Every structure is written in structure tokens, then in C-alpha cells.
Chain A
Amino acid sequence: MGNHTYELLLALGVLSPFVSFWLLVFFGPRLGKPLAGWVGVVLGMGVPLALSSYVLVNWLGEVESGQAAALTASALRFQWAMIGPIAIDIGVKLDSLTVAMYFMVTFIAFWIFVFSVGYMSGHSDEVAGKSKYHRFFAYLSLFAFSMLGLVVSSNLLFLFIFWELVGLCSYLLIGFYFHQRVPQYAQMKAFITNRVGDFGFLIGLMLVYFQLGTLDLDEAAVVFAQQYATQTGIFASTFTMFGWSLATIMGVGLFCGAMGKSAQFPLHVWLPDAMAGPTPVSALIHAATMVAAGVYLVARVFRLMTPEALMFVAVIGCLTLALMALVAMVQTDIKKCLAYSTLSQLGYMIFGLGCGAWIAALFHLITHAFFKAMMFLGSGQVIEGCHHEQDMRKMGGLIRKMPFTGITFLIGVLAISGFGIAGLEIGGIKFGLGGFFSKDEILAVAYTRSFEWEEGDFSKHQEQGDGHGGHGAIDRSDENDRIRLASFGQQESSNLEVLASGTQADHGHAVEHGAENPHSTNEKHSGHGTAANAGIFANTPKLPKWMFWLAIITAYITPFYMMRCWWMTFMGKPRDEHVHEHAHEVPLMYVPLVVLAVGTFVASYFLFRPLIADASHVGSSAAMVMAIDGTAHTEAVHHAHVWLQYGVGGSFVVGFLVAIAIYGRGLALADRLKRVAGPIHTLLERKYYIDEIYDLVWVKGCVALAYVARFFDTYVVDLIFNSLASVTERLAAFSGLIIDNQGVDGVVNGVAATSLDIGDRIRRPQTGRIRNYVLITAGIAAAVIIGFLIWGPDVGGVPIAVAGL
């Protein structure tokens, strides 16, 4: 492939939905229904999917042949603007992570677009009785443009721009049914909460711009590492806030943006409300792609993070994953239940990144995107089929009416619960699904960081991972052997030498050789960065044990609430005859479900993990990833520690059994438990009262402050000037009395008369008043001038000038 072919293809894929957007804006009404929708499907996502598939296939080849790193290093950039002396480039960031994310987004989005055509074919496109069909697909196309733009951005500022644009699309789509009250408030809440996060993002951006002198992701990482090595720039600053150094504040600031978009506690409040939008939107934006953008951002700026910043990331992620899973247990709205589950899973990803489980977190991002999009679409099918009934208490027994939906949903439930049996292989394929590979790996890393980590033993760990393998990189070859891509650890077979020579140095010997390794093809970016970053992470502290325990306990809660959700909807006896009677499913809607279900299987095994693993050592990540992520893997959990193996691996069994035990025979037992739990249940049902608190403190507080400002403006600031004016007016009247200047009066009256002639409605008294004002102000001016001529002439030359005048 040519020099910048990949970049150009990806860029073309970004622009295609943009074209689709404008087409639909201008010609949408004329295209009508369903043609407008198919334009959106083909141009909005079909073209990008085709391009990204092509890129993906070829890119896999490049990775295998070892060309990927070189392609990553030779970036395509155009100058867009200068901020002061610093150039801002627009460009495509091309590496394995981009390719993987891009493919994931286009693949999932394509099927959701198809699903949308089905979903919108009924009356779902009506806003207050009028069809807004084309508008829906225009928004979806704009979203596709923004999201793909975000994924390929090579520059933090552009990332931010697309970041805000996806926020806009989210705003518009949540409020698609804007004639109703709930979506109106939900869309505002989403945008403003995100803006709070973006405020932090802007601060982070500011620090990057000023302290590192560039907004390019790669360059920034290099400068960051150099500054650490020489202890200059941002590391020379003695500024601290909350005990954080400036470098940490930068990382935390950037992470604030991620907290908003990925809805991390305490900025999570908008996501459950965002379910007010049409269900395909919930699936696409608020489950699979946009909300994952925060995780993607953290992964991208991982190299700008300090251990303290990562610790903050881990704490936030951990709180989110646990708190939101608890709320998910008591939800009765099928979409809300999935929303809280999404929050909890996003918490896992963020937590994983905070722990250093870079590969696992991103892998989880992708597997989660598949199965969560599928489940949301399933819920959309259910809701549409049940005539917009979302309350699971009124459902039940739907499996007979909706077999495809029910079974695909169950696959999603299994995937999110980490279903699988360690060590069992069927035909060479490990027996497990989705979370079994990704979530459990995060837990394994958390375990390593909590229990086997000694403060300051970063380098020891790195050598360990490098040397004997231990509980760490032992079974790394599971995918490697089959797909022959990711090749770190020591067991890679000799036919992977080509790739290894370029990447292994970064991975294994980063501390000793990274900077000067002649083999490293993109030494400038990753080699250098890694070596210095290793220094940054040398003092990475141990993870508090409570965090690991929370994550493990939540791993038991997840299967419970998901199975509860599935059972209440699809199993048991129908609880509402009316709902049950009308339930049905449509091919245009269940075909995407089946495709995504297959995608969930494929994503769990092939393609993505090796790609991400490749990304982690060609300059997307830091030494910490190599050291920590390299030491842990699913297999580490499932083999090395028996109790962890059963602890994590068995969680889904326990969760499922408990859920079935409670909900297996209707809701009676659940109701009794609810009464027993009493206040705790209420606390969870009211989501810890966070919404109420925010409303009181922030919304009402801010509006109150605004009214105070308005009062002050009207009655204090204005009063001062009004009284000044009335004083002047009196003076003017006085001057009018004593200064009888016929001449001036004559002239002014003449002018006034002319203007009266011109303007039919100009009133004379006004001109009179104005004249007085002019006179008095001219008088003041004259007084000041005379005053300074008399008292201030201690300047050479001024008297001469006056004399000359």
C-alpha cells in the first residue's frame, strides 16, 4: 500500500457521512421515507464500513509483515491554524488502535443504521405527529462523521472539536422527541454535564499546549518523556494543587473530559436520562461508541499520565463500576437497567486503564461495544414490539414471541457476565465469551497491582515479565499462534522475529535500551517515550486492596442483574396480557441482532485483541502498559491462581443462580425482598439521591446566583448611572438657565429643524436635552483640559505649543 493510502481511506470514510448529512439536510424531505434512511445507511455508514474493512484486512497484513510501525511513524499532517507560535495540524493518527476502533465503530454503526430503518418505519419517527424521518438520519450521519473524526484525530484540539460535535449529536438525538418534556431535560442535562467535564478537558489542553508546546498526540508524548528525563518544563514546576503536581493536574484535567463523556461518577448522571432518545441511538451512542470515547481518550493520552493521575483514574473507575452496578440491580425499566450496566462496564474500562491494564481495557471496550449494542437493539425490538412498553414488570414470557431477540439477548447476558470455562477448549477455541477474556483480564491486572505489587518495584516487574514469565505472560500465545500477530513475551515462535525486532525492544528492554535501540522503527515516538516513561512509572504505588475487592464483588453483581433483566423480560409467565398479545419481531430489526451476536463471538476471539496489543507497543502507550499488562492475562487468572480462577470464573454461575432463584417464579419473592431491604432499596432506586442533590446545589444554586446578578445589575449598577445622569440633567437645566447662548441655540435649533424635516417623528424636547448634555460634557472636557494646562505643564514644550496655538 502506498505511502498515505490508509490515512486517505480513513479520511474518506470520515467525509462520506458528512456528505450524507448535508444531502439529508437539503434533500431529505424530498427523498422521503424510507429512501432518506437508506441514503444514511449507504453513505453514512456503508461506505466507511467498506473502507474500514479494506483497511483492516490490509493493515493486518502490514502488522504481520512488520510494516505497521513505519506506517504509524510517517504521519499525514496538514497545518490548520497557528495558536500563537504553535502550529495546529489536522491529520490522521494511524496505528492499530485507530484501525481497530474505526472498524468497530463502522461495523456496529452500520448494523444499527440498518436497524434504525426498521425501527423508524413505524411511527417512531414522528415528533408531535409530524414525521422527522430524514432529520433522524441526518443526525445519525453527523454523528458518524464526528465519531469517526474523533477516532482518527492526531491532534488533541481536533479530538476536542470532534468530541464536542459528538456531544452535539448526542444532544440532538436525545432530544429527538423534543415535544415531550423528559427528552428536553435529558438533552440539556447531557450537554451541560459533558461541558463540566469539558471544562476540565480544556484545562488539560491548556497545560499540554503551554507546557509541552504542542497539541499533537505523538509529539506531546515525546516532549513529556523528554521533560521527565531532564526534569524540565512541566516537571520543573513546583506548583501543586490538592497535592498534585502540575503534570498530574494535566492528566487529571484531560481525564475530566473522559469522565463527562464516559459518564464516570460523579458526572454519570446524564447517561441514564439519555435513554429518553430513540433506542437505536441508545445502542449506538449511549452504549457502544460515544460513551466509549472517554475510554479511548484516556488510552490516547495515557503517555501523558503520571502514576498519581492514573491512581485518580482508577479510583473514579472503581467507584463507578461498583456504585452503578448496585443501582442496576433495582431498575425496572429495561433501558435504564442496560444504561446502568453500561455505566458499570465503562467503570471497568476506566478502572482497567487506571490500573495499567491498557490492553485489557480497550479489549473490553470493543467486546462490550458488540454485546451491549446488541442488547440495546434487543431492548429496542422489545419496546417497539410491545408498543413502547419499557417496564419489565409488565413483560415476561416474550421468548416465545421473539425468539431471535431473546436468544441474542441471552448471548449478550452471557458475554457481559464473563461466561466461560477456564482451560476448556473446543476445537482449539477457548470456551468463553466476551467478558471472559476482557473483563477478567482487567481483574487479573487489578489483582497483580493490589497483591503482588511492591512500591517501586516497577523495573523488577518489568524484568519479571520479560524473564521468567511467572504467572504473567505465560500463555500469551493463545491468539498469537493462531493469528500470529501480537508477539511479546518470550514464547513467540521464530516466524515472528520480524515483528519482534521492532517491538520487543520497546516492550521488554525498554528501560535499558529503549532510547538507543537501532531496530526500533519509530524510535522517535515510542522508543524514546517508553524509556523515559519507565522512569515516570518507577514509583507506581500499590493499588489499595479495597479497589480490587470492589471490582471482584461487582463481577458477581453483573451476572445477577443481567440475568434478572433477561429473565423478567423473556422468561416466566406473561404478566400483562395486552403487552404480550401484540409482541412481535421484524426481520429488519432482528437481522442486525444476529449479526452483532456473531460479531460478539468473533470479537471475543479474533482481530481485536492482537490489534490492540500491537497498538500498545507501537507508540500508543507507555512503559507501564508493558510492565503491568504484560504480566497478566486471562490465562493468568484462569491458571495461575486457583482461587482467583474460581473466584472470577465462577462469578457468573453464582449471579445467574441467584437471579433465577429470585425471579424464577414471578415477582413475588422479589417484592418481599424489596420490603426487607427497605431503605437500602429506596436509596438504590433513587440513585443515591445524586440527581436531587445536583439539582439543588448546582442547578438551583446557579439560577439563584443568576437572579442575584440580575438584581444587582438592575438595582445597583444601573442605579448609580441613573443617579449620575439625573445630577447631570439638573446641572444641564441650570446651565441652560444661566448660559444664554443665542448663537449656539440658533445653530442647534437649525439642525434640529432640519432633522425634523427629515425625520417625521423626531421630537424637539429631546434635541433640547441632548444639547444641554453636550454642553455640559463639553464644559467638563474644557475644564479638564484647562486644568491640565495650568497644573500639569511640567513637560518641556507644552507651554510653547499652547503659545503656538
Chain B
Amino acid sequence: MDHLLSWIIFVPTLGAILCLFVPKRQVRVVAVTASLAALILSLLLFPTFLGGGEGAAGYSGSHYGELHHVERHEWITGSNLAIEYFLGIDGLGFPLLILTTLVAFLACLASWNMESWKVGKGIRAYFVLFLLLETGMLGVFVSLDFFLFYIFWEVMLLPMYFLIGVWGGERREYAAIKFFLFTLGGSVLMLVALVAMYFYSDGALASEMQRTGADAVASGYRDGVALTHGTFDLIELATNKVIQGHFNAASTVFLGLKFSTCMFMFLFIGFAIKLPVVPFHTWLPDAHVQAPTPVSMILAGVLLKMGGYGFLRLCYPIFPTGGETWAFLLAVIGIVSILYGALCAMAQTDFKKLVAYSSVSHMGYVLLGIAVMTEAGFQGAMFQMIAHGISSPMCFFLVGVVYDRAHHREINRFGGLWMTMPRYGTLATIGFFASLGLPGLCGFIGEVWVILGTFAAKDNPAMPWAPTMAVLAASAVVLTAGYILWLIRRVYLGREREEYQSFPDVSARETMILVPMAVLSIALGIFPMQTVFNFTNGTLDNMLRHVVQVIGLVP
């Protein structure tokens, strides 16, 4: 048992504490150093995933629940209650963890020269909150105890609220409260699910022990470990046959509804708000538009991914039958998100809002890919999350670059920026074409995998009209091209405008932030296997096998 994951999570916290005490001028340095330390530490995880097994199982184990760098300590224990400090990482959390540390580092760099600093206001508070936010996000991706997961989930919430509400634009308070309320609404449902899952697992084990007369039930994934009472262990909840049998049985009911169906929906809504999917998306454009650029990067790059991660970590492995029940509805919502988000994006005149709505559209692919429950769908959804986690912070930062100079975001007032700022124009082209889903760049792979995965679900009785859905999802490629190219034309092409001619091209710091993302967009597009799939596919395939198996076992 090593403590690498703990270090990764809490290095930013240490940085935050340090920030409280160092002189104001040093705060930025400390914060950037802390986020860089977290990035470097997270890169130390690579050997674990590079060295491992081979074949179909990929680099991440032979069954769902094969974890690395596990840390387990009893944390809160009652007579019947065992909440653990349980961290671990597999192919699901790993790429997202790296993404988080990377985006957080880049966003930290992007915070270097914010307007507010010039008046010397709030720099300390900003970076403290920023680093706490990073801790929260990292914690979510590695905690495997539901209770701990929930705590990190909430820890992330408050700093975000303040970051938007204090350092945001004109309507920051409205946006911040909206963000907070939406997320909180989801959290409430998650809390209900948390409690219910604990009690129901406890009940399942109790009746099993009563039936067999034994005084414990064997763990689903840990050798030589037995359970005596309910658990918050997310892997146990998914892999323990007794618990799974009970959770997914049709006879298990909750508030008069089938337990798995109901719990799946509770969790789903919580995560769907984060993702976000239509109709729970309206917090997103407001939050993005009002948030300062680095916070937008974090929001788009990492926070949205928590929704997708939540589906894959909680909803599907623990309530496969729920997934089957809702498959059709979720796929429809996914397609609506894709098309509706694209259409809304097309009609925006605010640069940032357009990018925000494009996120809604892109995240729709994530939901669709997961909902169809096929290998290619899961893989595509996961890839789409990572790809979007790179391309959309890049787009937001690109918006930030012009906003810093022009102090407005009206698309129609721009023009000819490629002439004015050639390097910026080139980088912007890469960023927006990645977002467009141009082959050779990262946005393409996720989309194609999801579309193919959707089509492949056509024999699943829970997914009627899968081919039609795939066609609809594919039709979005035209809409996406429409709004992105229109945007590029209005902002970057055309004659130079007088008022922007004095704009300097991207600075060294800005280049330092944009270039890694541009390089990654290209790398992911050309080497999807080496950059993402090799790490994720093993876990995802194992999970899917598990899901299918449970669905098969429980009629």
C-alpha cells in the first residue's frame, strides 16, 4: 500500500494552506508550484498502467475492480457502520485524473494575470479556493467509498461557487447560485441514493446470512475478505453477487418503484446535471459566461467529466438493470442534447456562450455512448470525455485571450483576427477544428466510436431504433461544422478591424498554455490507442461484461 494517490489529492491542499501564509506576491508561485507538483505526481502513475497485462484485458486488469495504488483505512465506524478512506485507481479514473491535474495546472497558469490582480484584490483567496477545488476534483476520481466520494463531490462545490460568484462577470451572483442550486439538487438525490444503497446492501447481506446461517458473506472482489454488514464500497456494491442479486431483483422496491430503476434514476439525475444533459443544462451557459477564463477551463475540462465518470462508476456497474430499463430514454436524451446543443450554439452571438453550448452538444455523445451499453459506445464515451477535456478548455482559453484584449465577447464585432494575431489564429484553428470533430484531431474519434457503438446496439431489445439514433447522432456533424465554421469566419477571417490592430499576438505564457493542448489534440487524434484506449479499454470492457452478465442473470 502506497500513499501516492493521497499525495496527489492533498498536494493542492497543502499548497492552499501554504498560500494562506506566504506574502501576497508569492501566492501565485506557490499555487502554480502546487498544481505542477500534483501533475508530476499523477504522471508517476503511468508505469503502473504501462507495465501491466496484455491482450483483450488491456492494461487494466482481468476483471472489473482490479485496482492499483489502493489505500484503505477505516475512517468512521459505528456498531453497524463502516465508512472507509478508500482510494484506488483503474482504467476509468486514471485518464481523468491525469486530465484533471493537467487542466488544473494550465488553468492555474491561465490565472496568472487576471484583471483583478492589477487592483491587488483577492489573489490569496482565489488561489486557495482554486487549489481546494482541485483537491475536490481529484478526490472524486479516486475515492471508491461512496461516502468519501460524496464528500469530495461536495467539497468541490463550494470553491466553485465562490470562484464564479466573486471573480466572475457582471451577473456572477445569479450564475453562481444557479450553478450551486442545480448541483445541490443533484446532490440531494445522490444523498438519498447513498443512504438507501447502504441500508439495502445491509439488508441483502443480513438476509443472506440468515438464509445460509453463516456469520459473514464473502466479498465480491477481494479474496479472503468477508462482509457482515452494509457497505459504501463502490466496487463491492457492484461485484458482490448477493448485493447485486438483491439490488437488481424485480422484487426489491423503493418508494413503490423497482429499486434499481429508482436508484439509477436518482444517481443519473445527479450526474446528468453535471454532465450536463438537456434539460438540466441551463446552469452551464450562465456559469461559463460569468466565470473567469481559468474557471471556465476547469468547468469544461473537468467538472463536466464528473457526470460521465459518475455514470460509469456508479450507475452502470451497480444498477445494470436500471441502465437497461432506462437505456432508450437516456439515448434519446443524449441525441436531443447533441442536436439541441448544436442548434443553440449556432444561434449564440456571445463567443463564450457558443462554446458552452457546444459542450452540451459534445457531452450528449458521452451520454449516448454510455446509454447504448456496447463496447464501442463505452469506449467512445470515455474517449469523448478526455478529448473534450482537452479541446474545450482550449476553446475557452482562446476566448479568454481575445476577451482580455477586447473586453467583449460579441462574435459579430470581431473579424480578421487571424491577420492581426497570426499565431493565435493558427492555434485557434486547431482548437476549433478539434472541437468540430475533424479526423486527425481528438474530437473525431469519440464521435465515430459512439456512433458506431450506437449502431451496434441494434440487437438489444432495450434499444429499439438504435440505427435511427446512430443516423441522427451522425447528422450532427453537419450542424457542428455549420456553427464552428460560421464562428471562425466571423471572428478570425475577413479584413482586419481598426480597433483590434493594436492587439499583441499570444504571449509566451499564453502559448505555453495553448500549445500542450494543441499537441494533445493532435496526438489523441492520431494515436487514440496509445494515448487513451490502452488505458481505459480493459476496465471498460470488464465493466461491460459485468453489466451484461448481471442483466443476463436477473430477468
Contacts and interface: CB of A to CB of B under 8 A. Distances in A.
A157 B79 CA distance: 58
A707 B20 CA distance: 47
B31 to A, nearest CB: 14
Interface string B197-232: 011101111110010000000000000000001100
Interface in A742-771: 755, 758-762, 766, 769-770
Nearest to A160: B439
Contacts of B184: 773-774, 777
Given A84-B375, A164-B438, A787-B255, A766 B453 contact: no
Interface string A9-38: 000000000000000010000000000000
A672 interface: no
B122 A788 contact: no
A83 B376 contact: yes
A758 B27 CA distance: 13
B178 A210 contact: no
B151 interface: no
Nearest to A194: B481
B237 to A, nearest CB: 15
A642 interface: no
Contacts of A218: none
Interface residues of B, number: 104
Contact of B253 (A127, A128, A192, A794): A794
A703 B477 contact: no
Contact of B254 (A171, A781, A792): A792
Interface string B464-494: 0001001100110111011101100100011
Interface stretch (A174-182, A452-460, A542-550, A662-670): A174-182
A522 to B, nearest CB: 29
B440 interface: yes
Nearest to B259: A795
A780 B205 CA distance: 29
A81 B347 CA distance: 37
B489 A184 contact: yes
Contact of A81 (B195, B204, B283, B528): B528
Interface in A188-239: 188, 191-192, 195-196, 198-199, 202-203, 205-207, 209-210
Contacts of B452: 83-84, 205-206, 209-210
Contacts of A801: 80, 198-199, 202-203, 206, 229-230
A8 interface: no
A797 B202 contact: yes
A84 B453 contact: yes
Contacts of A181: 494
Interface in A113-152: 127-128, 130
Given A179-B494, A705-B343, A728-B181, A168 B206 contact: no
Contacts of B181: 725, 728, 773
- Which DSSP category, helix, strand, loop or mixed, fits chain B's interface? helix
A43 to B, nearest CB: 20
Interface string B84-123: 0000000000000000000000000000000000000110
Contacts of A128: 416, 419, 495-496
Interface string B419-451: 100000010000001000011100011001101
B261 interface: no
A703 B419 CA distance: 28
A9 to B, nearest CB: 22
Given A777-B185, A788-B255, A792-B256, A758 B124 contact: yes
Given A84-B375, A127-B419, A184-B493, A804 B80 contact: yes
Given A760-B122, A802-B199, A192 B206 contact: no
B494 A702 contact: no
Contacts of B282: 713, 717-718, 721
A198 B477 contact: yes
A764 B160 CA distance: 17
A130 B419 contact: yes
A796 B201 CA distance: 10
Contact of A796 (B121, B206, B475): B206
Nearest to B195: A785
Contacts of A791: 255-256
Contact of A760 (B121, B173, B180, B479): B121
A566 to B, nearest CB: 35
B254 A199 contact: no
Contact of B255 (A192, A209, A792): A792
A709 B348 CA distance: 10
Contacts of A496: none
A706 interface: yes
A769 B181 CA distance: 11
A368 to B, nearest CB: 27
Contact of A195 (B180, B283, B477): B477
A767 B65 CA distance: 41
Given A210-B455, A804-B80, A196 B185 contact: no
B548 interface: no
Given A81-B528, A755-B162, A199 B173 contact: no
Q: How large is the interface on A (under 10, 10 to 19, 20 to 34, 35 or more residues)?
A: 35 or more
A802 B162 CA distance: 37
Given A81-B528, A83-B449, A773-B184, A702 B479 contact: yes
A797 B376 contact: no
The interface centre, meaning the residue of A205, A773, A792 with most chain B CB atoms within 10 A of its CB, is A792
B255 A191 contact: no
Interface in A60-79: 79
Contacts of A721: 178, 182, 282-283
A760 B210 CA distance: 59
Contacts of A198: 477
B467 to A, nearest CB: 8
Given A703-B347, A721-B182, A188 B485 contact: yes
A82 interface: yes
A165 interface: yes
Contacts of B438: 164-165, 168
A796 B203 contact: yes
Given A128-B496, A792-B254, A206 B419 contact: no
Nearest to A780: B188
Contact of B433 (A168, A760, A792): A168
A322 B478 CA distance: 28
Given A164-B438, A770-B161, A804 B481 contact: no
Contacts of A770: 161, 177, 180
A805 B81 contact: yes
A161 interface: yes
B129 interface: yes
Interface string B394-434: 00000000000000000000001011000000100000010
Given A83-B376, A706-B343, A762-B162, A795 B252 contact: yes
A503 to B, nearest CB: 35
A181 B80 CA distance: 73
Given A770-B161, A794-B253, A805-B81, A709 B489 contact: no
28 contacts: A79-B529, A81-B528, A84-B374, A128-B496, A162-B439, A164-B438, A168-B433, A175-B493, A184-B489, A192-B482, A202-B474, A203-B474, A709-B343, A710-B347, A718-B282, A759-B122, A762-B165, A766-B176, A773-B180, A777-B184, A785-B195, A794-B253, A795-B200, A795-B253, A796-B203, A796-B206, A804-B229, A805-B80
Instruction: Report, nearest first, the 5 A-B pairs whose CB atoms are least far apart.
Output: A797-B203, A759-B125, A84-B376, A804-B80, A797-B206
Given A130-B419, A160-B439, 9 more contacts: A81-B533, A128-B416, A128-B495, A165-B440, A209-B455, A759-B129, A766-B173, A795-B203, A801-B199
Interface of A: 25, 79-85, 127-128, 130, 157, 160-165, 168, 171, 175, 178-179, 181, 184-185, 187-188, 191-192, 195-196, 198-199, 202-203, 205-207, 209-210, 702-703, 705-707, 709-710, 713, 717-718, 720-721, 725, 728, 755, 758-762, 766, 769-770, 773-774, 777-778, 780-781, 784-785, 787-788, 791-792, 794-798, 800-802, 804-805
